[in-house]
Amino acid sequence: MSGDTGGVDDSTLIGHIRTLMVESSRFVHAFGDSHALHRSDLAALVAIMDAATSGHPLSQGELANELQLSASATTSVLDRLQALGHVERRRDDRDRRRVVLHIRPSAQKLGHELFSPLGAAYARAWAQFDEAERRTIARFLDVTVDATARTRHQRPRED
């Protein structure tokens, strides 16, 4: 490492990231429990919303790949979400042979309930940082997410 890190070594940062991951997991679990949703249900909703926002709605197979679930497990997730009125399966407007997943207004409301309070709490916590610190934090988070994703993709998949 170059320069003075003020006593914040890799082990300290890893500990903070681990704690954030555990707290995030607890937050998602508590939210899911209060709405009768499994962790995989919430992950599916986020993936479907993100895909729709990017202009590429997911098929069931693409969702299975994204979540690293089997076809039958993905069907179970989608059946639960559809029964709750959060998701619908529709023919793709561009390719009628393809069935894609669409978020319903109830899921958008659910997403707002999940992320708005957390986003507001984060914004209050981050108000203490100036623009230069925020750029450093953003860069830190970008490279940390990238390293996490790369490591996930390097792990052998267990079937």
The pLDDT of residue 6 is above 80: no
Long-range residue pairs from 105-110, CB within 8 A, at least 24 positions apart, any chain: 107/45, 107/48, 107/49, 107/81, 108/49, 110/35, 110/45, 110/86
The CA distance from 42 to 60, in Å, is 15
Q: Confidence band (pLDDT; 50, 70, 90) for 157?
A: low
Write down the pLDDT at residue 92.
84
The model's pTM: 0.77
Whether the Cβ atoms of residue 80 and residue 38 lie closer than 8 Å to each other: yes
Q: Is the pLDDT of residue 140 over 90?
A: yes
Q: What is the pLDDT of residue 5?
A: 55
Residue 156 confidence (pLDDT): 67
Using one digit for the tens of pLDDT, what is the confidence trace for 143-156? 999 999 899 888 76
Question: pLDDT grade, residue 111 (50/70/90)?
Answer: confident
Q: Tell me the per-residue pLDDT of 128-138, one tens digit each, with 9 for 90 and over.
A: 999 999 999 99
Question: In this predicted structure, what is the pLDDT of residue 49?
Answer: 93
User: Greater confidence, 54 or 158?
Assistant: 54
Residue 105 near residue 49 (C-beta atoms within 8 A): no
pLDDT in tens, 35-91: 989 999 999 999 999 998 998 999 999 999 999 999 999 999 999 999 999 999 999
